Amino acid sequence: MDSDSNVMTIVILLGLILLSGYFSSSETAFTSINQIRLRNSAKKGDKRAEWTLRLAEDYNNVLSTILVGNNIVNIASSSLATILFIKHFPQYGVTISTIVMTILVLIFGEITPKAIAKDRPEKVAMFATPFLSILMKFLMPINWMFAKWNNSLAKRLRSEETSISEEELLSIIDEAEIGGSLEVDEHQLIRSAIKFHDLEVDTILTPRVDVVAADLQDSDEEIQKIFDEHVYSRILLYDDSIDEVRGVLHERDFNYYIRRKAKGEETLSLTEMMKEVLHIPAMMKLSRLLKIMQQSKVHMAVVVDEYGGTIGIVTMEDALEELVGEIWDETDYIEEEITFISEDKYLVRGEASLEKVFALFQLQNSEKFFSSTISGFVSEILGHFPKEGDKVIYKNMLLKVVKIKNIRVLEIIVEKIN
Mean pLDDT, rounded, for 199-226 = 89
Q: Identify the CA nearest to 257 among candidates 274, 239, 270, 271.
A: 270
Higher-pLDDT residue of 155, 32: 32
DSSP state of 200: B
- Residue 236: its pLDDT value, please? 92
Give the helix/strand (H/E) hosting 290.
Answer: helix 286-296
Mean pLDDT, rounded, for 41-69 = 87
CATH 3.30.465.10 fits 338-416, yes or no: yes
Residue 264 CB: number of other CB atoms within 10 A?
7
Confidence of residue 22 (pLDDT cuts 50, 70, 90): very high
DSSP state of 350: T
| CATH of span 202-324 | 3.10.580.10
User: Does the pLDDT of residue 392 top 80, yes or no?
Assistant: yes
CA distance 330 to 344: 33
At 136-181, the pLDDT tens digits run 888 888 878 877 777 777 677 665 555 666 677 777 777 776 766 6
Higher-pLDDT residue of 54, 406: 54
At 77-98, the pLDDT tens digits run 888 888 888 888 888 888 888 8
Instruction: Kindly report the average pLDDT of the chain as a whole number.
Output: 84
pTM of the model: 0.51
- Residue 330: its pLDDT value, please? 46
Q: Where are the domains of the chain?
A: 2-157, 166-196, 202-324, 338-416
